[in-house]
Amino acid sequence: MLKEIKLSGFKSIQKMEVELKKINVLIGANGAGKSNFIDFFRLLISLSNNRLQFYMRRNGGANALLHYGIKTTQKITSHLHINTDNGKGVYGFTLSLAPVNTLIIEEYTHPSSTVIGKVGEESLFFLDRQDNKPDTSLNKAMRNEINRYRAFHFHDTSETTYMRGNCDINNNRILLRDGSNLAAVLYKLQQTQKPYYERIVKTIRQIAPFFEDFVLEPLTVTPHEIQLRWQACDSDYEFGPHQLSDGTLRTMALITLLLQAEEDLPSLIILDEPELGLHPYAISLIAALIRSASVYTQVILATQSTNLLDHFEPEDIIVVEQQQGISLFKRLAPDKLTTWLEDYTLSELWEKNVMGGTPSR
């Protein structure tokens, strides 16, 4: 479990230090820095997969990632404090400006400033926090932990989205970040983990009463591919993925993610505005599933939804604000809101700007 993150020099984040819990709900005005915080985890995931330079190319290079550009900032520095079954450890790295608008890994460090990696390396290395010496079992546990971080983005449900198209039937080990292999994952669950598949179908019916079941079969012409086909109640007619509303398709992806087998859950689930296009009842359902999944995993989500916010506890909330172009992160102190919460909900306090997170100059 990721217990704490210290980060500096990344996008709007000049310097931050925040404690993380099992559930972490980021709220704040548009442009405050919530998405930048989530983008850091996409950078971390790319780094763990040895795809740092690919991430750089897709995201505008060093000038777009460094705080206020290369003339202001030359380094991104981070320390992650992680608890595993093999002990507590920390992973620190520094990404430094290099020629041609790119970044390279300058060094891996422990908070004591012990350098354990050199320029250009793209493999993770960890230290035991107790004695500053490499620990093989801890290294492996932490590597596995970070390799199972996943950031999901189901926003694209347009006619051309991959979620509505054919996908490789064997690409089913994990749900991809854009849900493009949703049909393949559901097919695997249907064939090998039927109780989990049935639980997903029953839950989908709660938000889509017209839905009966998926029709998941290899395509006749291209049997290595599968499509998200489905049936409505009291009908033998098969519908295609293009006959699902945007909100229903997003909800199906979220439900599948959160209700898969516990051992298959990512170690950290990162969601950016999961409420988009969802009916209020569906938002309530997804919030309940997030709380249930947090028993087995850790969740970070960013939201603008007052409805979603009200389904969590004050201690789950991290308020994000921007002052003079710098993102600030503050976890709510529940004891300071006790009196307020006797008369108001969290969303009402947010709207009244009692706890911050609203636009300001």
247 found inside a domain: yes
In this prediction, residue 361 has a pLDDT band, given cuts at 50, 70 and 90, of: low
C-alpha distances (whole Å) from 160 to each of 41, 42, 73, 151, 165 are: 27, 24, 38, 21, 8
pLDDT band at 136 (very low <50, low <70, confident <90, very high): low
CB-CB contact of 312 with 287 (8 Å): yes
pLDDT on residue 329: 97
pLDDT value of residue 140: 75
Please say if the pLDDT value at position 169 is more than 50: yes
pLDDT on residue 90: 83
What is the four-CA torsion angle of 14, 17, 87, 270, rounded to 10 degrees?
Answer: -80
147 belongs to a structural domain: no
Q: Is the pLDDT of residue 359 over 70?
A: yes
- Position 53 pLDDT exceeds 90: no
For 34-61, letters b (16+ CB in 10 Å) and e give bbbbbbbbbbbbbbbeeebeebbeeeeb
- Residue 202 forms part of a structural domain: yes
Give percent above pLDDT 90 in the chain: 70
Total number of domains in the chain: 1
What confidence score (pLDDT) does residue 123 get? 39
Q: With a cut of 60, say whether residue 124 has pLDDT above it.
A: no
Residue 60 has pLDDT above 80, yes or no: yes
Residue 17, classed as helix, strand or coil, is: strand
Tell me 245's DSSP state.
-
The 10 Å CB-count burial string (b at 16+, else e) for 314-331 is bebbbbbbbeeeebbbbb
Q: Is residue 80 part of a domain?
A: no
Residue whose structure tokens are 């939804």: 305
Quote the CA–CA distance of 266 and 75 in Å, as a whole number: 29
Closest CA relative to residue 106, chosen from 47, 37, 55:
47
Look up tokens 């008369």; give the residue.
Answer: 343
Residue of 17, 19, 139 lying closest to 87 (CA atoms): 139
Judge whether 33 lies within some domain: no
**The amino acid at 67:** H
Output the pLDDT for position 119.
40
- 126-130, 235-239, 261-265, 327-331, range with the lowest pLDDT: 126-130
Average pLDDT across the chain, whole number: 89
What does each C-alpha distance from 298 to 109, 238, 295, 304 come to in angstroms?
25, 37, 8, 20
More confident residue, 291 or 352: 291
Q: Which pLDDT belongs to residue 107?
A: 57
Amino acid at 337: L
Output the pLDDT for position 128: 41
Distance CA 229, CA 237 (A): 10
For 223-263, write each residue's pLDDT tens digit: 999 999 999 998 889 999 999 999 999 999 999 999 999 99
If pLDDT is split at 50, 70 and 90, which confidence band does 125 have? very low
Q: Running DSSP on this structure, what letter comes out for residue 336?
A: G
Q: Is 185 a domain residue?
A: yes
Q: What does the pLDDT look like over 83-121, one tens digit per residue?
A: 888 788 888 888 998 888 888 887 564 443 344 444 444
Return the SS3 of 133.
coil
Query: What is the rounded distance in angstroms from the CA atom of residue 25 to the CA atom of residue 261?
Result: 23
Considering only residues 85 and 77, tell me which one the structure prediction assigns the higher pLDDT: 77
pLDDT value for 126 = 41
| Residues present in the chain in total | 361
pLDDT given at position 100:
82
Q: Kindly state the helix (H) or strand (E) to which residue 28 belongs, with its residue range.
A: strand 23-28
- Residue 163 in domain: yes
Domain that holds residue 227: 153-267
Query: How buried is residue 126: exposed, middle or buried, by Cβ count under 10 Å (0-12/13-18/19+)?
Result: buried
Residue 118's pLDDT is what? 42
List beta partners, residue 355: none
Average pLDDT, integer, range 156-173? 93
Over residues 23-33, the mean pLDDT reads: 95
Q: Determine the pLDDT at residue 171.
A: 96
Question: What digits encode the pLDDT tens for the residues 182-217?
Answer: 999 999 999 999 999 999 999 999 999 999 999 999
Looking at the domain assignment, is residue 171 inside a domain? yes
| Among 319, 322, 340, residue whose Cα is nearest residue 330 | 319
Dihedral of CA 153/302/287/270: which sign? positive
